[in-house]
Structure 1
Amino acid sequence: MFCIKKTALAVLALGSSAAFAGTMGPACTPGNVTVPCTTSGWDVGIYALYLEPSYNGHPRFFNYVGSDFVGAQRVHTKLNTDFDWGFKLEASYHFSTGNDINVNWYHWDTTTSQNLHYFGEISGAEVFFTPFQIDHKWDAVNFEFGQHVDFGEFKNIRFHGGAQYARLQHKIYSPYTINIPSAGFVVDPDTGNIVLSPAETEIGANRIDLTFRGVGPRVGADMSYDWPNGFAIYANGAAALLIGDNKVNDTSDIEPNRATHTSIVPELEAKLGLTYTYAMGQGNLTLDGGYMVANYWNAFHVVQAGQDGSTDFGVHGPYLGLKYIGAL
């Protein structure tokens, strides 16, 4: 009797397990991974960029433009890095089953300028920069070979590989006037009399040009989710490893110097955006807008007597553009 009960319990347990397994819902059916049919076409695009530079290196050269005392506290003056306009141009040739060759050029160039005045509470000296001016420049040319892959009905990814050429520049020009007050009473070496030392004025300029030019491999992926009404949301990413010359050309009136060396600069970029595509009789017109970030690690190097260091260089900001896609 005891064995019969054990057998019955085992049968009930198996039956309940089978019933439980059957309540998990229908099995997931994965979508098809496909490439487009053979076609050929071309596209051209133009974008307006509104970007701000970013640095993280030596405070004197990249993040701040001096400091002053407010009471007992030293206050640093932030480098003026406003947003400014740039552009992107691109052109592509589409062929075969979702392949394309794309060339695009980013250009951004801005000048920031501010008049500065510092007062030394202990020495009494005054320093005037009129102005403290910095030119920020970024050029990047990308050559991409892409492959479009569809993941089901709405999702697609464009994988691409190629190369990037980049030119980065950080140029400082800051004429200055230093007013040094009298040091007090001193002994005149010629007469031996005690006299009041005269005040002094020093005039000069800082001129520092930091440049990096490099080229290297670049890979990335453009991921998109498409809706039937022409809208799509996307997230794009790319990474490059650039090899090139890092130059310092300092022709300042005090301690000028020059240096050049070869460096490896990693680069990473990302975009989030939204597109709307309007179907026309002879092609498609796409409105594209979003936010982008690009960063170059250890892009600039500083070499001065008693001063050295490096900094990353990055840009970030919104963009808006139009692209026309035509068939051949």
Structure 2
Amino acid sequence: MFKKVTIAVLGLAANVTIAGTMGPACTPGNVTVPCEAKLWDFSAQALYLRSVYGSEKAFEPGTSPINKEVKNEWNWGYRLEGSYHFNTGNDITVNWMHFSSSIDPTNFFGILTIPAIGLPPLPTPFELTSFNRIDQVNIVMGQYTNLSARDKIRFYGGLQYANIQSTATSYYITQQLPIPILASNPLSKFNNTDYKGFGPAVGLDYAYYITDSLSITANGAGSILYGTNRYHAGFVMAPFDAIVEQVFFRKKGIVPSLEAKLGVNYAHATPIGVANVQVGYQAVNYFHVLEAQSFANLVGPVRPVDYGVFGPYFGLKLIGDA
């Protein structure tokens, strides 16, 4: 019985690297579609990524060391995906990517300026900490096509939601300044920005089969989101955490994104379906999605910056008969 089930599932899900099923071709010719089938799949990927900002946020202009990059740490994230396959190569797929990272405390030396309380520009060292995260959700419908016996492709389109956040705090070392109130009540500066957007997404998955089980995979995708961008920054004085000066704005904006992946997939039959081991490298970038000020104070202009993540992924996908 297991042998019969395995042969049936392998016949329907031979090209599982792309997203689930590619089955035998029903019509002759150079380009065909899979035979009608009903399948499901579920996959989980471990992501080892590092996040990067555009130059306005990746560096601290007007400080020393000059051109010292604010590097986020490598960290683990995950991607979950589920699909239902029906008709002749159609599927409905939902996936969710989550990632967050931070930076170790980084020392800088800059100019502290707070006009709201009459504080003149003062050379002051400070320590910067930062945290960022991204949640991306896609709901798409796809169509598989057989370009040849070894080349398989899937076109898809749907909707994407993205929630991107970045928070940073600069702790100023003011004990040695010639101003008594600052010597006993240190200052810190918070710098928070986020974007939440929703819009159309399209993409293409490609697989080239070296053998019946081993394939090289590639993916390209893009989206155009419409959502809300917020920026909030200010100085806080201890010990009561009073905000002595701040900047805040909120605006609607359109944000494009691009995503690319390259990897390999190995398929193996199991008693409950076809298991696929996935390994590869990915990069995602959202253009002008966050905000940043050019200098380590509230005087500089607020400008949009990119946000992206990149790194390897490792995953397992299971495909079974619905």
TM class by shorter chain equals 0.7 to 0.9
Q: TM-score, normalised by structure 1?
A: 0.77
Q: How does 1:1-328 map to 2 (within 5 A)?
A: 32-58=30-56, 61-64=57-60, 67-68=63-64, 75-116=66-107, 118=109, 125-129=123-127, 132-179=128-175, 201=183, 203-253=186-236, 255-302=245-292, 304-328=298-322
SS of match in other structure, 1:305: coil
User: Alpha-carbon deviation of 1:115?
Assistant: 4.2
Shift of 1:227: 2.5
The one of the two structures with greater contact order (alpha-carbon pairs below 8 A, sep at least 6) is 2
Provide TM-score, normalisation by structure 2.
0.79
Relative to structure 1, is the Cα distance of residues 278 and 65 closer, same or farther in structure 2, using a 3 angstrom cutoff? farther
Instruction: Pick closer, same or farther for the CA change 1:64–1:43 going to 2, 3 Å.
Output: same
- Amino acid corresponding to residue 273 of structure 1 in structure 2: G
After superposition, the Cα gap between the structure-2 partners of 1:180 and 1:89, relative to the gap in structure 1 and judged at 3 Å, is same
Q: CA deviation at 1:66?
A: 6.6
Cα–Cα, structure 1 residues 34 and 252, in superposed 2: closer, same or farther, change >3 Å? same
Q: Deviations for 1:201-234, whole angstroms, at most 9, x for unmatched residues?
A: 3611111210100000000100110133400001
How many Å separate the matches in 2 of 1:218 and 1:112? 31
SS for the counterpart of 1:67 is coil
Please give the alpha-carbon distance, in whole angstroms, between the structure 1 residues aligned to 2:153 and 2:211.
Answer: 17
Superposed CA deviations along residues 143-186 of structure 1, whole A, max 9, x for unmatched, are 1100000011010101000010000011112222225556xxxx
Does the Cα contact within 8 Å between 1:31 and 1:152 map onto a contact in 2? no
User: Could you tell me whether the CA contact under 8 Å between 1:127 and 1:179 is conserved in 2?
Assistant: no
Once the two structures are superposed, residues 67-89 of structure 1 have per-residue CA deviations (whole angstroms, 9 ceiling, x without a partner) of 32xxxxx6332202221110000
Determine the C-alpha separation between the residues in 1 that align with 2:285 and 2:157: 19
Larger Rg: 1
Distance 1:179 1:126 in 2: 10
| Aligned counterpart, 1:23 | none
- The answer to whether the 8 A contact 1:126-1:179 is kept is no
Aligned counterparts of 1:54 and 1:43: Cα–Cα separation in 2: 32
Counterpart-to-counterpart distance in 2, 1:224 and 1:285 = 16
Residue 111 (structure 1) shift? 1.8
- Contact 2:195/2:229, CA 8 A, preserved across alignment: yes
CA shift in 2, pair 1:244/1:101, >3 Å:
same
**Letter paired with 1:259:** F
Residues 233-282 of structure 1: per-residue CA shift (max 9 Å, x gap): 01100010000000012243353121000000000000000000002233
Following superposition, the deviation at residue 31 of structure 1 comes to 5.9
Query: What letter matches 2:144 in structure 1?
Result: H
2:195, 2:230 within 8 Å by CA — same for their partners in 1?
Answer: yes
2:58, 2:69 within 8 Å by CA — same for their partners in 1?
A: no
Structure 2 contact 59–67 (Cα < 8 Å) conserved:
no
Alignment check: 8 A CA contact 1:167 1:213 kept: yes
Gaps of 5+ in 2: 1-27, 112-120, 237-243
| SS at 1:77 equivalent | coil
Matches of 1:34 and 1:225 in 2, distance apart? 16
Which one-letter code corresponds to 1:314 in the other structure? G
Q: Which 10-residue stretch deviates more, 105-114 or 302-311? A: 302-311
Query: Following superposition, which runs of at least 4 residues in structure 1 exceed 6 angstroms of deviation?
Result: 197-200
